[in-house]
Amino acid sequence: MKLAKSLQQIQPSYIREILSAAQAEGVISLAGGLPDGDNFPIALMAQSLIDLPTKPELFQYGHTAGFGPLLDYFQKAYQLPENQSAIVCTGSQQGLDLIARAFLNPGDKVVMEAPSYLGALQVFGLAQADVVSIEQQAEGPDLEQLESCFAEQEIVMFYAVPDFHNPTGVCWSLEVRQKVAALCIKYGVTLIEDVPYRELRFTGEALPLVSSFCPDHSLVLRSFSKIATPGIRLGLVTGKTDWINPLIKVKQSADLHSSIPMQAVLLDLLSHGEFDKHIQNLRDLYQKRYQVLSDNLNQKLPSGCELNSVDGGMFVWLTIPDCDVFDLAKAALENNVAVVPSSVFYQQGAKITPALRLNFTNASEAELALAVDRLVEVINAKCTCA
Amino acid sequence: MKLAKSLQQIQPSYIREILSAAQAEGVISLAGGLPDGDNFPIALMAQSLIDLPTKPELFQYGHTAGFGPLLDYFQKAYQLPENQSAIVCTGSQQGLDLIARAFLNPGDKVVMEAPSYLGALQVFGLAQADVVSIEQQAEGPDLEQLESCFAEQEIVMFYAVPDFHNPTGVCWSLEVRQKVAALCIKYGVTLIEDVPYRELRFTGEALPLVSSFCPDHSLVLRSFSKIATPGIRLGLVTGKTDWINPLIKVKQSADLHSSIPMQAVLLDLLSHGEFDKHIQNLRDLYQKRYQVLSDNLNQKLPSGCELNSVDGGMFVWLTIPDCDVFDLAKAALENNVAVVPSSVFYQQGAKITPALRLNFTNASEAELALAVDRLVEVINAKCTCA
């Protein structure tokens, strides 16, 4: 059989190759987007897991939209207005895929900030959407570019990660949030607000969801991979019921429903009295690691390299002038530190800022310090900024 | 947002409405495709479930193709040849969806027997494929129709359920299997062999997979919903590695990977010393229930109605001449027995055989006998065959 046309356009994922090489012995990986595996809330999930054999009803076929009690929980926890509902997905990755399948025809236009989350680029590629890139600035998307793009082109949706963006770590300011929402309403564009890192803020106060300013013009994607665990593969989409229903229809074909035992365990975890404390511990842990990475880089980096500072999330973005970052990442891997070159986060043909994405959640403080030494060696050897 | 073109063609699922109504108190449901919930192998899964909290590594992100030890198990259990591999899916429903997304462009032709599995009709509808229906006979597809269809049209794939077909219960004879495989090889058509009910044979000897006669022209879809449990949502696709790799690529966008804790539990279950005995118990249970349903129907049905006999699976097919089966199913529901009218199993425009699909795996023997009384009342009242 020949590959479908939609699949022929999908590039092999270089990041997958890096991640695979990053598992080699002796390599410190700042490449992945993995939460810390030693700090999963397994203790808070244990009783629920142990009780599963006493609940055979959880092992039968279930509803496509999700496990009833979990949906009830979300309805309350997120205070969904009357015209909104929720669908549980097999990871928020599936949520995005369902949205693309339900609402995009080939050639439809989707706006994204550049650089962008790779998994979203893949989904929109598979949907054969026409991705329109706009620049990202320190406080969010370039609003002028965004407005002229909305005004001049027929845009279906704007996909964004406003809280601790992947790959840059940027968090949109309150003003940007309000202005983006106003533009979505003005031009009838749907905001797809992806917030997997929202709970991982370790400095400052949480800002309102962008969607809270345009509830009828948005869908929110939530992940439980960062605050619960990724292996259970559970995410959530909330928004207008009129838009959730088509997602349920597509999900019926896509996988019927997500694992019910895992949904029941997630519900018990989210309702657990100690869950908030777990999140706070996670924030503290990640903040310390971020600080070690950031301090070491700021001390040791040659001038010309620029590290953004972040208030949460899992990544920092290190810009390096005049450098082949692909080549740099390869050399770093040979020096036993894995990082991701910025080039993979741009759609083909986009103007690429030379940079590296560095993850700080899945290596110890000692490893992070050592990783910086190795990385700086390579930067000094390879880059003209040195 | 407007619905994508592909979704506009999908009809609301009448069967979902029936299944929902079938849950009302007092209704005996022969409508669903549910395995018996009182006989899940929970006891054989219990230790594995209880041990999950001691294995935090199962809760991290995993490989898209599946949990390594489970893939190793499948490689051995199904004796996959060197050029073949496997991908674990979020239910076999996802397997089929991935196949359609990886290999079908809108307008591509897919052959199916009529009537057909509803979930497959939905997947191919979403893929905007052109479904070509051929008639099903007592021993499988009409081979003359199949060959002329393969010879005269450009067919990409032939989707089939050769073991205890849903909805008819038909099991292909050995001769038909060999001939279909030969036709697939001759005309370069890929067979998508879906075998969710294969292990549920209670009479006679198992026949070889059709794919065993055309291994390089087929993909096999396996489900663990019937022999393990549906709630864990795990299925499998096996076939040439050249065809499995594109499925992995699509799955990366679709949901990254399936639940790892559930895959680990499935592996423990399949490897359990008592698992074969569980399957044998299931076969015995379903055979007894089938016998009660079939004996009662044969005794009480008016002449003109025809019940097929089956050697396994979960369904029988009851043909009823000169009858509006949709109307009949509605009247049956009012008389507290839920059944599925044949019309839902045909693509739009196809010639419909008036019939009902009756499930015998999810009601007790007493309920099955009572359900027949209620159904026969309605048939006598509504149908000219009475």
pLDDT digits (tens, 9 = 90+) for B191-246: 999 999 999 999 999 999 999 999 999 999 999 999 999 999 999 999 999 999 99
Question: Rg (Cα) of chain A, in Å, rounded?
Answer: 21
Helix (H) / strand (E) containing B191: strand B190-194
pLDDT in tens, A182-213: 999 999 999 999 999 999 999 999 999 999 99
> Which residues in chain B are closer than 8 Å to A218, comparing Cβ atoms?
none
Residue B356 is inside which H or E element, if any?
strand B355-359
Alpha-carbon distance of B290 to B53, in angstroms, equals: 40
Strand ranges for chain A from DSSP E: 28-29, 84-89, 109-114, 130-137, 140-141, 155-160, 190-194, 218-223, 235-240, 306-307, 315-319, 337-338, 340-341, 355-359
Contact status, residue A314 vs residue A361, Cβ threshold 8 Å = yes
Q: Computed over its alpha carbons, how large is the radius of gyration of chain B?
A: 21
**Which of the four pLDDT bands, split at 50, 70 and 90, describes residue A75?**
very high
| Residues composing chain B | 386
Nearest to A253 among B42, B97, B243 (CB): B97
Percent of chain B at pLDDT exceeding 70: 98
A247 contacts chain B (CB < 8 A): no
Tens of pLDDT, residue by residue over A205-240, are 999 999 999 999 999 999 999 999 999 999 999 999
Using the Cβ of A252 and the Cβ atoms of chain B, whether some distance falls under 8 Å is answered with yes
**What residues 137-196 of chain A have any CB closer than 8 A to a CB of chain B?**
156-157, 190
**pLDDT confidence band for A382 (50 / 70 / 90):** confident
What gap in Å lies between CA B190 and CA B158, rounded to an integer? 6
Nearest-angstrom CA–CA distance, B279 and A67:
28
Is residue B282 classed as helix, strand or coil in its secondary structure?
A: helix
> How far apart are the CA of B332 and the nearest CA of chain A, in angstroms?
24
Q: Where are the domains of chain A?
A: 5-30+276-382, 43-271
pLDDT at B385 over 70: no
Overall average pLDDT of the A90-106 stretch: 98
Nearest to A53 among B45, B249, B253 (CB): B45
CA dihedral B23→B29→B30→B31, nearest 10 degrees, is -20
- Res. A359 pLDDT band, cuts 50 70 90: very high
Say if the Cβ atoms of A122 and B252 lie within 8 Å: yes
Report the first-to-last Cα separation within chain B, whole angstroms.
Answer: 51
B42 touches chain A (CB under 8 A): yes
Note whether A49 contacts B45, CB cutoff 8 Å: no
Chain A contact for B97 (CB, 8 A cutoff): yes
- Which string of b and e fits A276-288 if b means at least 16 CB within 10 Å? eebbeebbebbbe
Residue pair B183/B153 in contact by the 8 Å Cβ criterion = no
User: Which residues of A167-300 form beta strands (DSSP E)?
Assistant: 190-194, 218-223, 235-240
Question: What is the per-residue pLDDT for A107?
Answer: 97
Domain covering A43-271 assigned CATH 3.40.640.10 in the classification? yes
Angle (CA) B355-B138-B126 rounded to 5° is 60
Containing A174, the helix (H) or strand (E) segment is helix A174-187
3-state SS class at B97? helix
Is B77 an interface residue toward A (CB < 8 Å)?
Answer: no
- Digit-coded pLDDT (tens) for B299-326: 999 999 999 999 999 999 999 987 899 8
Backbone angles phi and psi of A314, in degrees to 5: -130, -5
Task: Look at A180-184, A343-347, B57-61, B198-202 and tell me which has the smallest mean pLDDT.
Answer: A343-347
- Give the span between the Cα atoms of A40 and A26, in whole angstroms: 24
pLDDT at position B148 is: 97
Q: What is the pLDDT of residue A22?
A: 76
- DSSP at A256: S
- Predicted confidence (pLDDT) per residue in A128-181, tens digit: 999 999 999 999 999 999 999 999 999 999 999 999 999 999 999 999 999 999
Predicted local distance difference test score (pLDDT) of residue B284: 98
On whether ipTM exceeds 0.90, the answer is: yes
Could you say which of A5, A93, A257 has the minimum Cβ distance to residue B105? A5
Interface list for B 18-37 with A (CB within 8 A)? 32, 34-35, 37
Chain A residues within 8 A of B6 when measuring between CB atoms = 101, 105
Mean pLDDT of B267-290: 98
Closest CA–CA distance from residue A4 to any residue of chain B (Å) = 5
Other C-beta atoms closer than 10 Å to the C-beta of B111 total 23
pLDDT tens readout for residues B131-171: 999 999 999 999 999 999 999 999 999 999 999 999 999 99
Distances (CA, A) of A179 to A166, B55, B119: 21, 46, 43
Inform me whether the pLDDT recorded for B350 exceeds 90.
no
CB pairs < 8 Å spanning A and B = 209
- Report the C-alpha gap between A251 and A190 in whole angstroms: 20
Where does B205-267 show beta strands of DSSP type E? 218-223, 235-240
Q: Is the pLDDT of residue B337 over 80?
A: yes
Query: Cα separation of A118 and B55, whole Å?
Result: 29
Task: Give the helix/strand (H/E) hosting B224.
Answer: none
Q: CB B144: neighbour CB atoms within 10 A?
A: 10
- Residues with Cβ within 8 Å of B87's Cβ and at least 6 positions away in sequence, in order, are B64, B65, B66, B95, B98, B236, B237, B244, B247, B248, B251
Helices and strands (H, E) in chain B, number of each type? 13, 14
Instruction: Tell me phi and psi for residue A340, to 5 degrees.
Output: -110, 125
Cα B207 to Cα B140: distance, rounded to the nearest angstrom: 13
Q: Mapping DSSP to helix (H, G, I), strand (E, B) and coil, where does residue A76 land?
A: helix
- Say how many CA atoms lie within 13 Å of B72 toward its Cβ: 6
Class of domain A5-30+276-382: alpha beta
What is the rounded CA–CA span in Å between residue A23 and residue A109? Answer: 37
Strand partners, B114: B135
Query: Does pLDDT of B14 surpass 90?
Result: no
- The listed CATH number (1.10.3860.10, 3.40.50.620, 1.10.1060.10, 3.40.640.10) that belongs to domain B57-271: 3.40.640.10
Position A8 scores a pLDDT of 83
- The whole-number pLDDT of residue A13 equals 65
How confident is the model at residue B347, as a pLDDT?
86
**Mind giving me the DSSP string for A119-164?**
HHHHHHHHTT-EEEEEEEETTEE-HHHHHHHHHHS-EEEEEE--SS
What confidence score (pLDDT) does residue B101 get?
A: 98
When pLDDT is averaged across residues A252-280 and rounded to a whole number, the result is 97
End-to-end CA distance of chain A: 51
Q: How far apart are CA A192 and CA A217, in angstroms?
A: 9
Which amino acid is present at B317? Answer: W
User: What single-letter amino acid sits at B21?
Assistant: A
Band the pLDDT of A12: cuts 50, 70, 90.
Answer: low
d(CA A339, CA A358): 6
Name the minimum distance, in Å, from the CA of A1 to any CA of chain B: 7
The token duo for A56 is: 């055979």
Mean pLDDT for B353-370 is 97
* Percent residues over pLDDT 90 in chain A: 89
- Adjacent-strand bridge partners of A28: A337
Distance between CA atoms of B56 and A44, rounded to whole angstroms? 12
Contact A256 B243 (CB under 8 A): no
For the stretch B173-195, what's the b/e string if a residue is b when 16 or more beta carbons lie within 10 angstroms of its beta carbon? eeebbbbbbebbeebebbbbbbb
pLDDT at A133: 95
Half-sphere exposure of A301 (CA within 13 A, CB side): 17
Hey, are the CB atoms on A4 and B105 less than 8 Å from each other?
yes
Q: Give the model's pLDDT for residue B13.
A: 66
Rounded-to-integer distance, Cα B190 and Cα B200, Å: 25
